Amino acid sequence: PDVVAVLDTGFDHVDLQVNPLYLRGRYRKLSRGVPQTRWPCRRCRGKGCARCGGTGKMYPTSVEEVIAAEVMRESGGTGHALHGMGREDVDARMLGRGRPFIVEIKEPRKRRIDLNAAVRRMNTSGIVEVDQLTPATGADVVALKEDRAAKTYRVLLRTVPPVDEAKLKGTLPVLVGEPIAQRTPGRVVHRRADTIRARRLLSAEVVGVEGDRAELRVTAEAGTYIKEWVHGDGGRTRPSLAERLGAACEVLELDVLDVHDGG
């Protein structure tokens, strides 16, 4: 049910529980520098300060805010959340077919809304594109979060000293399928437990090499830290591409090209 009336006969009143509105789709994120979900300012925790220019946020907008704003324009509501099948880094684009998500609107005033109109407006943002919105449930959120979909990435990297194409092409196949031990990256260990996870690459190929730049296409198991696999994270990820090449590797650009969900 959308709304549940709870009668408390002892106190002579009725509480209305308005269930959230859930809508699912796939999003593409066309800009770098946009987080998936609203990111409160680290210093003021949302109240507004000099660091965040009074916005209370680390970034002006997010995938969540673009999507939720257009749904709530139709549905009303008191709050929102975005549940993604994993998340890309703030500076990574999400391309290809997009990433499955479910947007949750709390206490909507209206449920029968013009979904196509909402999608059309999202897609004029220049930041986020959504394929379509269809009704979902709270149970769908659980299934979405449990999906262990492999991801395919485009990686643009710089090698120091420059590594030639032949060496890259000889090294990548050796790394595919080899167990990777990834200690929680230095960049996230302040907010996550410091553990070691085992992951694997499913495929890796060289797209092109120009001077000290190389472009790769890499498919990895869910939860693989790709940047760390490239540069090694000071030895926290082993083996890494940098370690095997004997060269420092810097990730210049990272894009998610596909999320292989549903199988």
CB of 37 to Zn ion, least distance (A): 17
Rounded Cα distance, 200 and 176, in Å: 7
Residue 194: active-site member: no
Per annotation, catalytic residue among 2, 89, 164, 261: 89
How far is the C-alpha of 160 from the C-alpha of 24, rounded, in Å?
Answer: 43
Q: State which residue, 51 or 169, has the beta carbon closest to Zn ion.
A: 51
- Residue 20 Cβ vs Zn ion, minimum distance, rounded to whole Å: 28
| Residue with smaller CB distance to Zn ion, 47 or 73 | 47
Place of tokens 């809508």: 23
Query: Contact, 86 vs 226, CB < 8 A?
Result: no
Determine how β-strand 248-260 pairs with β-strand 93-106.
parallel
How far is Cα 62 from Cα 26, in angstroms, rounded to an integer?
A: 15
Nearer to Zn ion, 43 or 110 (CB): 43
Query: Residues interacting with Zn ion, by CB under 5 A?
Result: 41, 43-44, 49, 51-52
Whole-number minimum distance, CB 191 to Zn ion, in Å? Answer: 17
Among 193, 192, 259, 199, CA closest to 226: 199
Residues tagged active-site: 89
